[in-house]
Homo-oligomer: A and B are copies of this chain.
Amino acid sequence: MYVIIVYDVAVERVNKVKKFLRQYLHWVQNSVFEGEITLAEFERIKAGLKEIIDENEDSIVVYKLRSMPKRETIGVEKNPIDDII
């Protein structure tokens, strides 16, 4: 499966979330990651994020796609995805 993960978490937890997601996904920009993962990895990511964040305050949205979506960049490409393909 292919996921896009966007997060809106308190400042004190941002780096933890970023560091954690980097193990599995490609950093796109700001608070956005994406990448191809297995279902087992998806479960591990969810469990890991739940441990890091405050579920009453922080918000993470996971978009679950079948494959890498089409994309267009306007302006600067902060971290070209082509590098990992």
A: which residues have CB within 8 A of B? 4, 6-9, 28-32, 46, 49-50, 53-65, 69-78
Contacts and interface: CB of A to CB of B under 8 A. Distances in A.
Nearest to A42: B72
Contact of A8 (B46, B60, B69, B78): B78
* Copies assembled: 2
A57 B75 contact: yes
Contact of A59 (B8, B54, B57, B75): B75
A60 B32 contact: no
A12 B30 CA distance: 16
B57 A64 contact: no
Given A53-B75, A74-B55, A76-B56, A29 B61 contact: yes
